[in-house]
Amino acid sequence: MQTLTILGATGSIGKSTLDVVARHPERFRIAALTARNQVDAMEAACLSAGPRYAVMSEAAAAAELDQRLRARAPHVQVLAGEAALSEVAALPEVDTVMAAIVGAAGLRPTLAAARAGKRVLLANKEALVMAGQLFLRTVREGGGTVIPIDSEHNAILQCLPGRFDGNWAGVGVRRILLTASGGPFRATPFGELAAVTPDQACAHPNWVMGRKISVDSATMMNKGLEVIEAHYLFNAPAESIEVVVHPQSVIHSMVEYVDGSVIAQMGNPDMRTPIAHALAFPERIESGVRSLNFFALTGLHFERPDLARFPCLALAYDALRMGGTMPATLNAANEVAVARFLEGGLRFDRIAPVIETVLARAQHRVASGLDDVFDADRCARDAAKHALAHA
């Protein structure tokens, strides 16, 4: 029996995780679920999954949930506040933590899971982008593991040999081909991007996801964050990670070897595949995802990313090459700009210039500890708000 905590249980990844878990009651037990403030979704999840703990990081939401569950599920203990997220990520009875909070808010609880030696199923890519080396060191020192949930990185893991330990030459890897759908504006002329609304940006052609990652996919910052994520997870130099736009999202990424072989992982675009893979690793379990119908595919198409229309991708490569706290700066500036865009206060095509301004003015520092990372995060948020005020 595997015991799980799901951080971000009411989100898109959280719900897909609960769906896979519910298919295997003999295999998985839920110790804790967390969310920010979505009381309805959390109540439903508690009633069906029966966790011991339910954490709402906002106190008012916790009080409301507690009241609703008192009669119907008195065995669920409701906790409030940010610190409780880290507590339930490190519970002694928990083996596996699904890290599916969106953004920088997920860093502390994800690190808490790593420190406690858990098997960390990592969807929260922002945590790795912000604190890559620190995060990996914490996983090593804690004696746990990290398994990527991001479909591309999970695909890469599946395309690498089981004995891969970060030594590319040892297994003959030449490069990583990171596929990208190109998002809803792959073919939209630059001049039309100014008028894009939040709802248009969130209408992804292949995936249904939370609003922040949907906007990131539309700007291609998502792919930029994923380049940084791949760098850390697979010890990959920036120049050995090539982004390949593949609008059908059937190939989820590829690994090329020195002998010319290219191994791809394919499947319907449904996050339950990587979630099931990571949950059962190294075994395989049913995920609810239907078979890929090759006869219904209209073709597999590939193109180079257009960095002129999608400058966020280039900014992410820049931040990765600069290293230190720059990826944390990139991430924070992006979070602020995307939140403002979603509120209707920033044009879609102004997201990248805001991030570029913040990166250009940021102090380049070594990320030797968590304080450095959070300092960079704070400075970048202030700088982004300043840039927005003058945008």
Cβ nearer to Mg ion, comparing 152 with 270: 152
Q: Cα-atom radius of gyration of the chain, to the nearest Å?
A: 20
In the list ligand NAD, Mg ion, none, the entry touching 10 (Cβ below 5 to 8 angstroms by class) is ligand NAD
In the list ligand NAD, Mg ion, none, the entry touching 126 (Cβ below 5 to 8 angstroms by class) is ligand NAD
Pairing between β-strand 173-180 and β-strand 145-148 as defined by DSSP bridges: unpaired
Do 332 and 384 contact (CB within 8 A), yes or no?
yes
Minimum CB–partner distance for residue 219 and Mg ion (Å):
14
In the list ligand NAD, Mg ion, none, the entry touching 349 (Cβ below 5 to 8 angstroms by class) is none
Residues 158-197 that bind Mg ion (CB under 5 A): none
DSSP, res 76: P
Residues 269-328 that bind ligand NAD (CB under 6 A): 271
Minimum CB–partner distance for residue 105 and ligand NAD (Å):
3
In the list ligand NAD, Mg ion, none, the entry touching 102 (Cβ below 5 to 8 angstroms by class) is ligand NAD
Do 124 and 100 contact (CB within 8 A), yes or no?
yes
Minimum CB–partner distance for residue 301 and Mg ion (Å):
18
Minimum CB–partner distance for residue 175 and ligand NAD (Å):
22
Put the strands of the sheet holding 119-122 in their side by side order: 77-80, 53-56, 28-35, 2-7, 96-99, 119-122, 145-148
Angle, alpha carbons 302-203-303 (nearest 5°): 10
Rounded Cα distance, 279 and 235, in Å: 23
Put the strands of the sheet holding 262-266 in their side by side order: 241-245, 173-180, 251-257, 262-266
Q: Is 377 in the site for Mg ion (CB under 5 A)?
A: no
C-alpha dist (Å) from residue 297 to 53, 244, 251, 253, 287:
44, 19, 12, 17, 21
How many CA atoms, within 13 angstroms, populate the side-chain half-sphere of residue 44? Answer: 10
Rounded Cα distance, 300 and 270, in Å: 17
Q: Can you tell me which of 4, 45, 105, 326 binds ligand NAD, judged by CB under 6 A?
A: 105
Minimum CB–partner distance for residue 387 and ligand NAD (Å):
22
Q: Is 150 in the site for Mg ion (CB under 5 A)?
A: yes
Do 88 and 79 contact (CB within 8 A), yes or no?
yes
Q: Can you tell me which of 18, 29, 36, 61 binds ligand NAD, judged by CB under 6 A?
A: 36
* Residue located via tokens 């990652």: 213
C-alpha dist (Å) from residue 153 to 54, 122, 200:
29, 10, 27
Q: What are phi and psi of 203, to 5 degrees?
A: -90, 80
Cβ nearer to ligand NAD, comparing 55 with 255: 55
Q: Can you tell me which of 14, 182, 247, 311 binds ligand NAD, judged by CB under 6 A?
A: 14
Cβ nearer to Mg ion, comparing 226 with 377: 226
Do 98 and 5 contact (CB within 8 A), yes or no?
yes
Q: Is 229 in the site for Mg ion (CB under 5 A)?
A: no
In the bound state, the residue with its beta carbon closest to ligand NAD is 11
Q: Can you tell me which of 4, 139, 180, 209 binds ligand NAD, judged by CB under 6 A?
A: 209
Helices of type H across 101-257: 107-115, 125-142, 151-159, 168-171, 198-202, 211-219, 221-234
Q: Is 38 in the site for ligand NAD (CB under 6 A)?
A: yes
In the list Mg ion, ligand NAD, none, the entry touching 256 (Cβ below 5 to 8 angstroms by class) is none
Cβ nearer to Mg ion, comparing 222 with 325: 222
* Residue located via tokens 């990844």: 13
Minimum CB–partner distance for residue 230 and Mg ion (Å):
10
Residues 109-128 that bind ligand NAD (CB under 6 A): 123-126
Q: Is 43 in the site for Mg ion (CB under 5 A)?
A: no
How many CA atoms, within 13 angstroms, populate the side-chain half-sphere of residue 124? Answer: 30
From the list 30-38, 148-156, 169-177, 375-383, the region that binds Mg ion by CB under 5 A is 148-156
* Binding-site string for Mg ion from residue 103 to residue 142, where x marks contact by CB under 5 A and - marks none: ----------------------------------------
Q: Can you tell me which of 61, 146, 213, 241 binds ligand NAD, judged by CB under 6 A?
A: 213
Give the residues lining the site for ligand NAD (CB under 6 A).
8-14, 35-36, 38, 57, 100-102, 105, 123-126, 150, 207, 209-210, 213, 271
